[in-house]
Amino acid sequence: MLVAFYSFLNGLQGVLQGGSMIVLICGMGIYLTLRSGFFQVRGLPFIWRSTMGSLLKKDEKSTSGGISPFQAVSTALAGTMGVGNIAGVATALTLGGAGAIFWMWVSSFFGMMTKYAEIVLAVRYRERSEGGGWHGGPMYYMERGLGKRWMGKLFALLCAAGSFGIGNMTQSNAVSGAARAAFGIPFWVSGLVTAAIVALVIFGGIRRIATVAEIVIPFITIAYIACCVAAIMRGSGYLGGAVSLIFTEAFSLRSAVGGVAGHSLMTALRYGVSRGVFTNEAGMGAASIAHAAAECKSPAHQGAWGIFEVFLDTNTVCTLTGLVLLTAQGGTLWQSGLDGAAMTSAAFVSVFGPLGATFIAVSVMIFAIAGMLGWCLYGETSVGYLTGRSGRAIFLYRAIFILFVFVGATSELRVVWELTDALNALMAIPNIAALWLLRREIAVPRLLDRRQRQWLRMTQK
């Protein structure tokens, strides 16, 4: 029975994360990009002012119980950035070749508008909580925007169930594995410590989760980016060849291992696009739950943080990881047969020595714990939606979530990976449907003021 169940999950995951799901998610991003006139490019001044530019101004956080826009994006990044950025890129290279990175860029470019749309709708249709904060996300714009509460309940159920897998057990398993490999710590010890850390944060509510994310995510992201840049500079003699390989392999009709012409192109496209889609979660809708809690000027201003989020997650961190792998050991490491975190660790060891392996292990642990915090927020918001914001139900969810942290750290999770990957892909189906039905509600701000329009008319004469 277990074998049959696993085969069913494996088949379901193959369908959901295969070509049809990728076309569905990327197709939505392409449509929104065309409809907005390539807003992720045209709107760069607005996006900059609304994101990094706003950090130079007074914090927008209010005293009404909400969180700041930067805290919201930090919390959302906690849920998206993680093991996939370190190990997932290596897997994409192994399966799809260097060209997978190019198609990862393509998918993230269109995914920026999908993430923008999710956040705009989440902020527009959110609700005030009794404590003065905000609650929002796909389930709220499905109910309040479409009048389809059943769809909202379906999404919330899938999100809550998925949070125990990809947002909990698989993350804690990565923590215990990294701790064992780097420091020899037993699985049960790292499981208890991780569960205690998560408990201290999540029982403080969304504001404590956001505060921790605001501190941890920028720190570890900047540290990881700095180390990647140092590693790439060490192998700078191979950087030109790596970049050239990315573009040539992206459109190559040559099969890497023999076989039908076109195999290399199609595998690069498949694994690159799927890595781009599933690392930044554009189309899944979960990250909009964190963004909906922000005290912001407008839905469009918070949506701009979504574009920034995709750019940082995929175009920056994943790209740097890929370039490290393609330039390490004279540009040969990525074809060595290693995969996942082992390949990334070997690349950093070749540059920094044993400290490289320690750094990757610590990065995996920090990113994974941050991911658990972000996904706990998604899960408890979904449980709150299903139970009418029942305090008892949310407390019970948090307690079970902490228990599963320990279980995940001490268990073999092959079946859990298959199940949670399928649940996350299933979340995209009602979310993409809602985005399509509410497409006329997704607006971009006016990009030109009167002086700019006058200047534009003069230059066209």
The per-residue pLDDT for 197 is 93
pLDDT of residue 169: 85
Higher pLDDT, 276 or 116: 116
Topology of the domain covering 69-440: Amino acid/polyamine transporter I (1.20.1740)
Burial 322-336 (b: 16+ CB within 10 A, else e): bbbbbbbbebebbee
Q: How far apart are CA 139 and CA 148, in angstroms?
A: 9
Mean pLDDT, the chain, integer:
82
Q: Is the pLDDT reported for residue 456 higher than 50?
A: no
356/60: higher pLDDT: 356
Q: What's the pLDDT score for residue 281?
A: 78
Residue carrying structure tokens 């082992």: 342
* Residue 17 phi, psi dihedral angles, 5° rounding: -105, 15
**Average pLDDT over every residue of 439-444:** 85
Residue with tokens 């298959």: 418
Sign of the alpha-carbon torsion through 189, 191, 194, 198: negative
- Give the orientation angle of helix 340-352 with respect to helix 89-96, to 10 degrees: 110
Domain ranges of the chain: 69-440
pLDDT at 195: 93
Is pTM beyond 0.95? Reply is: no
* pLDDT single digits (tens) 108-120: 999 999 999 999 9
DSSP assignment, residue 169? I
Task: Judge contact between 137 and 381, C-beta under 8 A.
Answer: yes
- Rounded CA-CA distance 321/304 in Å is 25
Lowest mean pLDDT, pick from 11-20, 39-48, 426-435: 11-20
Tell me which amino acid residue 342 is.
A
Q: Please report the pLDDT score of residue 460 as a whole number.
A: 43
Residue 398: count of CB within 10 angstroms of its CB: 19
As a whole number, mean pLDDT of residues 47-54 equals 86
pLDDT digits (tens, 9 = 90+) for 224-272: 999 999 999 988 888 999 999 899 888 876 544 443 334 456 666 666 6
Distance, CA of 461 to CA of 448 (rounded, Å): 18
* Residue whose entry in the numeric block shows the structure tokens 């909990």: 168
CA dist., res. 160 & res. 146, Å (int): 21
User: Do residues 402 and 235 make contact, with C-beta atoms less than 8 angstroms apart?
Assistant: no
d(CA 436, CA 114): 11
Model pLDDT, residue 66: 66
How many helices, marked H, and strands, marked E, lie in the chain? 23, 2
Tokens at 403, concatenated: 């228990």
214 has pLDDT over 90: no
Q: How confident is the model at residue 193 (pLDDT cuts 50, 70, 90)?
A: very high
Check residue 67 and report its DSSP letter: B
pLDDT confidence of 306, banded at 50, 70, 90? very high
Q: Is 450 helix (H, G, I), strand (E, B) or coil?
A: helix
Please name the residues in contact with 199: beta carbons below 8 A apart, sequence gap of 6 or more.
Answer: 398, 402
CA-CA-CA-CA torsion sign (130, 131, 136, 139): negative
- Judged against a pLDDT cut of 90, whether residue 83 lies above it is answered with no
Segment (H or E) for 134: strand 134-135
pLDDT band at 275 (very low <50, low <70, confident <90, very high): low
56-65, 82-91, 131-140: segment of lowest average pLDDT: 56-65
Q: What is the pLDDT of residues 338-350, one digit of tens each?
A: 767 788 888 999 8
Cα 104 → chain centroid:
13
What does the block give as tokens for 168?
């909990």
